[in-house]
C-alpha cells in the first residue's frame, strides 16, 4: 500500500528535519561574504511600532525618523561625540553655513553642497542610476514643505522664518494646485549648481538645527513624480529614494525593515577623536573609517516587549533597551547587569533621551478643554512612577516640567504643583464640579475617554495602569485602543478627548523645540500642538523667547512659559524617557548621542564573534533526532501491524 510505503520514509524525513532545524528567527542575510572573501556584516535590531511615513518632508514621529535617518543624509548633522553641549557639523554641506547680514538688515545663510554625492540607484532615474545631489534638490524640498497638499507638520514653524514659504502656500491654497515649475521659495536662492542662500524674515539661530533634520534634506523630484504619478507603484512615502549610507531594500508592513549599504556612499567618516573614556576601546579602531560600518541592517517590529529580550539573550538581537518584565531578569536589585550576562561580555549603559512624555488633553473638547480644575485634578491623580517602574525598570525620571534635563532653561529644583497628590486631586475634582468624581447631571461617575496604543499584551497592561490611576478620584475612564499610526491620525484630526502615551523627543536641543508644542499657530496638521492649546499670553511670551540667543533675559521668558503651561495644564506630564541599554560583546556602543535616532551608520559588528557566541549560547541538543527515530519507528511498527491485520 502507498500508505505503508510512505510510513517507511518517515525515519529518514525525521533525520533531515531535525538536522536542519535552527532557532535563529532573523532573515537570511542578503550575502554571506564579499567578493574578496571578507564576511558580510549585519546589524540586527528591533522596533516597537510601524513607521507611519517615510516621506522626509512629512514624517514627524520617532519610529519614522529612526527609519529615515540611514536613508537620507542631512545638510548638517549632530557631532556624534559632542553632547555637552550638543553641536552640529557639516554633512552634505562642505562647511558650516556662513551667516550674512544683508544690506536691507535681514539675515541669510550661505551654503554650499559637497560635490560627487549621489542619490541611490533607483528606477526613477534614467538607466536606474542615481544622479548627483544639487542645490535644486534643496529648493525642491522647501517647495514640498510649502505645498498644502503635503500637509507638512513643520510648515508653520519654518514659514515664520524662511522668506517666501507662506506666500506660495497661500497662493497654492487659493488656486488648489502647487505649480512646482513656477512657485519657488524665494528664501532659497540658487547661486550655482551646488551653492544656495537661505534668506530669513527675522533672526532665528535655531535654523541651523533645522538643517540637521530630514525635513530639509534634498529630495529628487524624479522620485516623487515617478512613485506618486502612476498607479501600480508604491507611493513615495513608502518608497524613499535618499542619498544616505543605506538604501531601503525591503519593508514588510508591521513586520520588518531591511537596509543594504549604499555602495557609492562617501559623505562622512567615523570621528577621529573626542570619544568619551568608556567608549574609547570600541571607537579608536574605527577612527577615520568610511561609513557605514556594516553591510546590512535588519530591524524587526515587535508588538510584545518580552520576545525582544528572549532573542537578545540568545544572541539574535544586537542591542536591547531594557523594559518591563525583562528588567527582573536582566538587572540586579541595584540596577546593575545580572552577573550571568556580564560574564558573557554584555555591557549595560543608562541612557537619557532629550524627551518629555505626557498625556494630551484636547482643549477643544467641551468637557476637558473648558474645565481647568478637572485637568489639574486628573494630573494630581496620576503617579508616573508606577508606569516608569513597569516599562523602564525605574530608569526614567518623573517629568516635572515641559523641558527635559540638558535643555537650556531646565530647572532641576522645580516641582510640578499638580504632580501626584491624591488628597489635592480629590479637592480639585470637587472644585471642578464633580465631587468624588460624580457627575451631578447623571448622579453617576463622570465618564472620560482615553485613547491608548494597545497592539499587544504589554501595551494593554500599561493602558490599564493609566486607566486605574485616573479613576482614583472616582471618575470612569473608557479605554479606546488604537495602533500607533491611528493614534497619530487622531492627534492630527483632533478626534479624541484624552490621549495617553504621547510625548516629544527633541528635534534639536533648544527650549523653543518643546514650547512650540503649545504655540497656537501650530495646530495640526500644520504643526504639532495636538492639545490645540491657545493662550495669547503664552503665544506672546513664546514669540519673544523663540528667536533670541541663550541669556538671562531668555531664561526669564522660559520660566514664565513654564508657569503658564503648568497652571493651564493642557498636558499631563509623565516622564523624561530614560532606559538601560544592553549591548552584545560583538556590537559595542560607539556613541551616546541621543539626538541620533539610532545612529545606524556608526553601528559596528564583529560577525565572527557573534557566530561563536551564538553557538555557545544556543547548543543544539543531541537527543531529539535519536528520540524522534524511536518514536517514528514505533509509529511505523504499529502501522505495519495494523495494515497486516486489515489485509489478513
Q: What share of the chain is helix, strand, coil (3-state, %, to 5)?
A: 35, 20, 45
- Where does residue 471 fall: left (phi above 0), alpha (psi -120 to 50 degrees), or beta otherwise? alpha
CA–CA separation, 142 and 57 (whole Å)? 8
Q: Tell me if residue 549 falls in helix, strand or coil.
A: coil
pLDDT of residue 635: 53
DSSP string spanning 66-124? Answer: HHHTTT---SEEEEEEEETTEEEEESSBSSPPEEEE-TTS-EEEEEEBPSS-BPPP-TT
Instruction: Output the CA–CA distances (angstroms, integers) from residue 334 to 237, 323, 327, 337, 559, in the order listed.
Output: 45, 16, 11, 9, 36
For residues 46 and 321, is the Cβ–Cβ distance under 8 A? Answer: no
Residues 6+ apart with CB under 8 A from 533: 363, 518, 520, 568, 570
Output the CA–CA distances (angstroms, integers) from residue 392 to 56, 400, 406, in the order listed: 30, 18, 20
The closest alpha carbon to 135, from 75, 59, 207, 192, belongs to: 192
pLDDT number for residue 629: 55
Cα–Cα distance, 94 to 112 (Å, whole number): 6
Single out the residue of 486, 492, 466 nearest to residue 478, CA to CA: 466
Strand partners of residue 247: 260
How far is Cα 401 from Cα 385, in angstroms, rounded to an integer? Answer: 15
pLDDT of 14 reads 39
Question: Residue 502: beta bridge partners?
Answer: 358
Q: How many CB atoms lie within 10 A of CB 362?
A: 24
pLDDT at 18: 38
**What is this structure's pTM?**
0.77
**pLDDT tens figures, 365-414:** 999 999 999 999 999 999 999 999 888 878 899 999 999 988 999 999 99
pLDDT at 48: 85
Residues of the chain falling short of pLDDT 50? 1-21, 636, 639-640, 643-644, 646-647
**Among all chains, which residue has been given the C-alpha cell 532557532?**
23
Q: Measured in Å, how far apart are the chain's first and last C-alpha atoms? A: 14
pLDDT of residue 98: 97
* Cα–Cα distance, 204 to 545 (Å, whole number): 11
Amino acid at each position: 500500500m502507498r500508505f505503508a510505503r510512505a510510513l517507511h520514509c518517515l525515519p529518514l524525513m525525521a533525520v533531515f528535519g531535525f538536522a536542519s532545524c535552527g532557532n535563529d528567527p532573523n532573515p537570511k542575510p542578503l550575502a554571506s561574504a564579499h567578493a574578496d572573501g571578507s564576511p558580510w556584516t549585519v546589524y540586527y535590531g528591533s522596533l516597537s511600532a510601524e513607521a507611519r511615513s517615510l516621506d522626509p518632508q512629512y514624517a514627524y514621529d520617532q519610529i519614522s525618523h529612526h527609519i529615515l535617518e540611514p536613508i537620507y543624509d542631512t545638510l548638517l548633522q549632530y557631532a556624534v561625540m559632542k553632547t555637552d553641549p550638543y553641536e552640529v557639523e557639516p554633512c552634505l554641506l562642505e562647511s558650516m553655513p556662513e551667516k550674512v547680514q544683508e544690506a536691507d538688515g535681514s539675515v541669510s545663510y550661505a551654503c554650499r553642497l559637497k560635490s560627487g554625492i549621489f542619490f541611490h540607484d533607483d528606477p526613477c532615474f534614467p538607466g536606474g542610476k542615481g544622479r548627483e545631489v544639487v542645490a535644486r534638490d534643496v529648493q525642491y524640498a522647501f517647495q514640498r514643505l510649502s505645498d498644502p497638499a503635503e500637509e507638512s507638520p513643520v510648515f508653520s514653524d519654518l514659514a515664520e522664518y524662511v522668506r517666501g514659504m507662506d506666500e506660495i502656500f497661500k497662493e497654492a491654497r487659493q488656486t488648489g494646485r502647487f505649480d512646482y515649475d513656477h512657485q519657488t521659495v524665494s528664501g532659497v536662492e540658487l547661486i550655482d549648481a551646488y551653492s544656495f542662500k537661505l534668506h530669513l524674515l527675522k533672526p532665528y539661530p535655531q535654523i541651523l538645527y533645522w538643517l540637521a533634520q530630514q525635513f530639509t534634506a534634498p529630495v529628487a523630484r524624479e522620485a516623487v513624480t515617478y512613485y506618486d504619478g502612476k498607479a501600480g507603484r508604491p507611493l513615495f512615502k513608502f518608497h524613499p529614494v535618499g542619498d544616505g549610507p543605506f538604501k531601503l531594500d525591503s519593508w514588510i508592513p508591521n513586520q520588518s525593515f531591511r537596509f543594504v549599504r549604499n555602495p557609492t556612499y562617501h559623505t562622512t567618516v567615523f570621528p577621529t577623536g573626542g570619544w568619551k573614556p568608556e567608549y574609547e576601546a570600541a571607537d579608536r579602531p574605527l577612527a577615520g573609517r568610511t561609513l557605514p560600518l556594516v553591510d546590512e541592517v535588519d530591524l524587526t517590529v515587535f508588538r510584545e516587549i518580552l520576545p525582544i529580550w528572549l532573542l537578545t539573550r540568545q544572541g539574535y538581537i544586537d542591542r536591547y533597551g531594557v523594559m518591563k518584565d525583562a528588567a527582573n531578569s536582566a538587572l540586579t536589585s541595584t540596577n546593575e547587569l545580572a552577573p550571568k550576562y556580564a560574564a558573557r561580555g554584555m555591557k549595560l549603559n543608562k541612557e537619557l533621551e532629550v524627551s518629555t512624555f505626557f498625556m494630551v488633553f484636547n482643549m477643544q473638547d467641551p468637557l476637558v478643554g473648558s474645565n481647568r480644575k478637572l485637568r489639574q485634578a486628573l494630573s494630581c491623580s496620576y503617579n508616573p512612577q508606577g508606569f516608569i517602574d513597569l516599562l523602564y525598570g525605574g530608569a526614567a525620571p518623573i517629568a516635572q516640567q515641559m523641558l527635559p534635563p540638558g535643555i537650556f532653561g531646565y530647572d532641576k529644583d522645580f516641582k510640578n504643583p499638580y504632580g501626584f497628590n491624591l488628597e489635592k486631586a480629590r479637592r480639585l475634582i470637587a472644585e471642578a464640579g464633580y465631587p468624588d468624581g460624580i457627575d451631578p447631571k447623571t448622579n453617576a461617575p463622570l465618564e472620560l475617554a482615553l485613547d491608548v496604543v494597545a497592539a499587544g499584551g504589554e501595551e494593554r497592561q500599561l493602558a490599564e495602569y493609566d486607566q486605574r490611576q485616573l479613576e482614583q478620584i472616582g471618575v470612569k475612564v473608557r479605554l479606546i485602543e488604537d495602533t500607533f499610526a491611528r493614534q497619530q491620525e487622531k492627534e492630527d484630526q483632533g478626534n479624541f478627548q484624552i490621549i495617553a502615551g504621547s510625548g516629544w523627543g527633541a528635534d534639536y536641543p533648544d527650549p523653543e523645540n518643546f514650547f512650540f508644542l503649545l504655540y497656537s499657530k501650530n495646530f495640526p496638521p500644520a504643526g504639532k500642538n495636538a492639545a490645540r492649546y491657545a493662550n495669547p499670553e503664552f503665544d506672546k511670551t513664546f514669540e519673544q523667547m523663540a528667536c533670541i540667543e541663550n541669556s538671562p533675559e531668555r531664561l526669564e521668558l522660559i520660566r514664565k512659559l513654564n508657569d503658564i503651561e503648568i497652571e493651564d495644564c493642557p498636558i499631563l506630564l509623565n516622564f523624561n524617557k530614560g532606559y538601560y541599554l544592553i549591548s552584545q560583546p560583538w556590537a559595542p556602543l560607539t556613541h551616546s548621542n541621543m539626538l541620533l535616532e539610532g545612529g545606524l551608520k556608526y553601528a559596528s559588528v564583529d560577525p565572527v564573534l557573534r557566530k561563536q557566541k551564538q553557538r555557545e549560547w544556543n547548543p543544539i541538543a543531541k537527543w531529539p533526532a535519536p528520540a524522534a527515530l524511536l518514536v517514528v519507528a514505533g509509529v511505523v511498527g504499529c502501522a505495519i501491524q495494523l495494515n497486516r491485520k486489515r489485509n489478513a
